[in-house]
Amino acid sequence: MNRPITLVTGQWADMPLEALAARAARWGYDGLELACWGAHFDVHRAITDPGYAPGVRRMLQAHGLDCVAIGAHLVGQAVCDVPIDTRHQGILPNRVWGDGEPEGVRRRAAAEMADTARAAAALGVRVVAGFTGSSVWHALAGFPPVSEGAIDAAYADFAERWTPILDVFAAEGVTFALEVHPGEIAYDHWTAERAIATVDHRAFALNFDPSHLHWQFVDPATFVRAHGARIVNVHAKDAARRLDGRNGLLASHLPFGHPARGWDFRSPGRGQIDWEELVRALDDVRYAGPIAVEWEDSGMNRELAARDALRFVRSLERAPSGQRFDAPFEPGA
């Protein structure tokens, strides 16, 4: 299946968008997944300046690039998160952080996400990938004990805060795709299933990144086959576990790239994910959307990684046969 291969710009936010577009076009990418931070796509300008979004689109087209999704992970994180603290101040626009009072931050983040749906529509984009945050992730270790009622309340809080946002998405003809990821209301198979059932909204879908499942020992291909009907965007990123008897899955408060971490991100094809099986699973569920390469490999220069990943992902793309090899031997063939 010939899917467009795009480049996630979030890890390139220090580079002017047009400079990155020129590089991506030269490398052979089909498009960009624009991040709503740095200076790559400004949500506020897109809804207040009628010429801004069309200008971004024209610039991409001048380089032969498309944009079929944008990323709004950072602001989305603050909609449900508990606690809200200085970590969020470091990732949020000043207009969303404001005075830092937690509930005010959550309300402003929700309003910004609704505006992101409007901004996406102005750009002609129908998918916004992002995070939701979670009021219960901080309790994952289970001690002090977490009651079943507290977990129920966290999912109810998610639905209460996100349903009005999703209503705006639906009105704009845009889908919000939650990236299943640690720190979110959905981070594995079962929490994704519960989040989908809890919000039960036509504008709610999934952004699939296999790297976040692999290190948890959740099989990415199995996840795709279970949730394929909801997957509208795919990130191509690999991961590797390094469990040598000392390194653990919780990573010991060590930074990415540290050799004592129990797992780390890798460029596609440079880790342990079974990409052949994963692509076959995407074929099985008839996923036809973009494959967006995301660089987070501390051991590989990002420009080299961008070119290497593009070659690798293109090598995986092939058309299913549409016929069985043994069909000629059936009676009447």
Copy the structure tokens of residue 7: 């480049």
Neighbours of 16 (CB within 10 A): 12
Cα 313 to the chain's mean position, in Å?
Answer: 17
Domains along the sequence of the chain with CATH: 5-237+268-321 (3.20.20.150)
In what helix (H) or strand (E) does residue 266 lie, and over which residues does it extend? strand 263-266
In what helix (H) or strand (E) does residue 321 lie, and over which residues does it extend? none
pLDDT in tens, 276-324: 999 999 999 999 999 999 999 999 999 999 999 999 999 998 766 666 6
The model's pTM? 0.96
pLDDT in tens, 66-82: 999 999 999 999 999 99
pLDDT in tens, 97-147: 999 999 999 999 999 999 999 999 999 999 999 999 999 999 999 999 999
Residue partners of 219: CB distance under 8 A and separation at least 6: 213
